[in-house]
């Protein structure tokens, strides 16, 4: 599975962690509640995902909580999708992902359609993760074991990816919301300005309108606030 795929527009979230959408990922209404990120794998090789930036993670041992709410609107979990990807590097040539799959183990298939489901914490000591891309890794690796082997590895990125269209007769589409990385929670709500001053000194670059669209300049940001 690919380590990471080309990224697109950057969008801030309501926490230290921000996010970047890539592939066929969009922000939609109908979250749990509010907005959600829609990840759609809709053609052979099609993919979608969210890349999480600005996390507090330095090494894998820093990661103690990883969770999300998810709802399938077309098909289900399967084919190793959707999954969290934790990008690791030990600085000595061993690089790769730990995959953390959504859905019921051990098949990670058969998720219900049309129902919001909380994943719970996916990195408890007994949680099974896929470390097979790393030296001495295995597909079903308890997270406690992964920490022993890779706890000192540097975390270089975290993504949530869907690319399982190939496992179904149609598209794989899933909504995700309330993504937790340790104590940070990403809710995919627009970061609208609450004062004119927020638009100044390049603050407009980190703000959005109520539809989640970024501002083109400071004047547009101020004008939006005035009209609210």
CATH number (domain holding residue 86): 2.60.120
pLDDT confidence of residue 197: 94
Same domain, 117 and 196: no
Q: For residue 86, tell me if it sits in a domain.
A: yes
Same domain, 208 and 175: no
Same domain, 111 and 147: yes
142 in helix, strand or coil? Answer: strand
Same domain, 146 and 52: yes
User: Would you tell me how many other CB atoms lie within 10 Å of the CB of residue 139?
Assistant: 13
What pTM does this model have? Answer: 0.84
pLDDT confidence of residue 145: 98
Q: For residue 1, tell me if it sits in a domain.
A: no
Tell me the helices (H) and strands (E) count for the chain, helix number first: 2, 14
Measured distance CA(132)–CA(118) in Å, rounded = 26
Same domain, 212 and 161: no
Q: For residue 194, tell me if it sits in a domain.
A: yes
Same domain, 47 and 101: yes
96-117, pLDDT tens digit by residue? 999 999 999 999 999 999 999 9
Low-confidence ranges of the chain (pLDDT < 50): 1-15
pLDDT confidence of residue 9: 40
Same domain, 152 and 212: no
Same domain, 167 and 218: no
Q: For residue 38, tell me if it sits in a domain.
A: yes
Output the six-digit token pair for 71: 């709802």
Identify the domain containing residue 206 by its residue range.
190-228
pLDDT confidence of residue 16: 63
| Number of domains comprising the chain | 2
């Amino acid at each position: 599975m690919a380590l990471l795929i080309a990224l697109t527009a950057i969008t801030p979230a309501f926490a230290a962690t921000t996010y970047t959408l890539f592939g066929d990922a969009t922000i939609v209404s109908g979250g749990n509640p509010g907005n959600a990120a829609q990840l759609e794998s809709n053609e052979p090789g099609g993919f979608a995902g969210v890349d999480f930036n600005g996390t507090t993670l330095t090494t894998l041992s820093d990661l103690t909580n990883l969770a999300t709410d998810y709802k399938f609107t077309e098909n289900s979990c399967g084919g190793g999708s959707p999954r969290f990807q934790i990008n690791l590097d030990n600085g000595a040539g061993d690089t790769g992902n730990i995959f953390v799959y959504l859905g019921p183990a051990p098949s990670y298939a058969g998720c219900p359609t049309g129902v919001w489901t909380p994943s719970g914490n996916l990195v408890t000591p007994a949680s099974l993760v896929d470390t097979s891309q790393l030296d001495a890794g295995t597909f079903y690796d308890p997270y406690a074991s992964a920490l022993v082997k890779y706890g000192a590895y540097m975390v270089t990125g975290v993504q949530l990816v869907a690319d399982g269209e190939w496992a179904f007769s149609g598209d794989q589409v899933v909504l995700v919301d309330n993504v937790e990385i340790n104590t940070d929670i990403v809710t995919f709500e627009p970061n609208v300005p609450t004062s004119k001053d927020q638009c100044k000194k390049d603050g407009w670059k980190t703000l959005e309108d109520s539809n989640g669209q970024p501002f083109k300049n400071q004047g547009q940001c101020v004008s939006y606030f005035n009209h609210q």
